[in-house]
Amino acid sequence: MSEKPGPKPMVKPAWHPSDDLTEMQRRFVDFLAYRQGRSTFTAAAIAAGYSEKRANREGSELMKNPKVQRYYRWKCNQINRSQAVNHTNYLNQQIRLSAKLEDKGKEDKCAPFENLIGKAAGLFSETHYHGDLNKMTMAEKLEEIKRLKKIQAEKIDMDDVKLLKE
């Protein structure tokens, strides 16, 4: 591959663990990493393009290679990090599950997922009142209801403003 004409870049490109591997070695590791614990070195070697006759030995030898081991650790960490439960991943998972049910024609089963999506996205808010209503006078109860209605109206107004800005 020829280099671009002109001055060389001042910053050296970042090193990546796959830079040290051949294409077949990278495919071997990718196959294993995406099937963590559900595949053998032999199956990975065959999938990577190694000969079926030597796949068992190739798989074993590849996993003894420190460069392959380093890329395998890096790839597994990347995969596990992408599957960690965080706000975005949780929201996307709920959306996927709801869409699957909708595609199967089970719209009535989507409601719990839609509720979770709304809560996770901050579209719904719940007000929990902790206190003993029996100990409150009628005037205090009415005052609390007015207060909660005011908070609800402010929340709706803020949401309307957000929608208008979008």
DSSP-derived secondary structure letter, 18: G
Please tell me whether residues 74 and 101 are part of one structural domain. no
- Interval 58-101: pLDDT, tens: 999 999 999 999 999 999 888 887 776 677 777 787 888 888 88
User: In this structure, are 132 and 150 located in the same domain?
Assistant: yes
pLDDT-based confidence at residue 116 (cuts at 50, 70, 90) = confident
Question: How long is the chain?
Answer: 166
> What is the number of domains present in the chain?
3
Whose CA is closest to 33, among 79, 85, 83, 82? 79
pTM, rounded to two decimals:
0.49
Residue 65 lies in a domain: yes
Distances (CA, A) of 133 to 72, 127, 130: 60, 15, 9
Copy the structure tokens of residue 28.
């071997």
Domain residues for the domain of 45 are 17-82
Q: Pick from 26, 52, 82: which residue ends a domain? A: 82
> Where does the pLDDT of residue 42 fall: very low under 50, low under 70, confident under 90, or very high at 90 and above?
very high
- Tell whether 21 and 78 lie within a shared domain: yes
- Band (125; pLDDT cuts 50, 70, 90): low
Q: Are residues 28 and 54 in the same domain?
A: yes
Are 25 and 77 found together in one domain? yes
Shared domain for 91 and 139, answered yes or no, is no
Assess contact for 49 and 24: CB atoms under 8 A. Answer: yes
Residue 2 pLDDT > 60, yes or no?
A: no
Query: DSSP class of residue 84?
Result: S
Report yes or no on 67 lying in a domain: yes
Q: What span, in angstroms and rounded, lies between the C-alpha atoms of 109 and 111?
A: 6
* Residue 8 belongs to some domain of the structure: no
Q: Of 124, 130, 121, 34, whose CA–CA distance to 76 is shortest?
A: 34
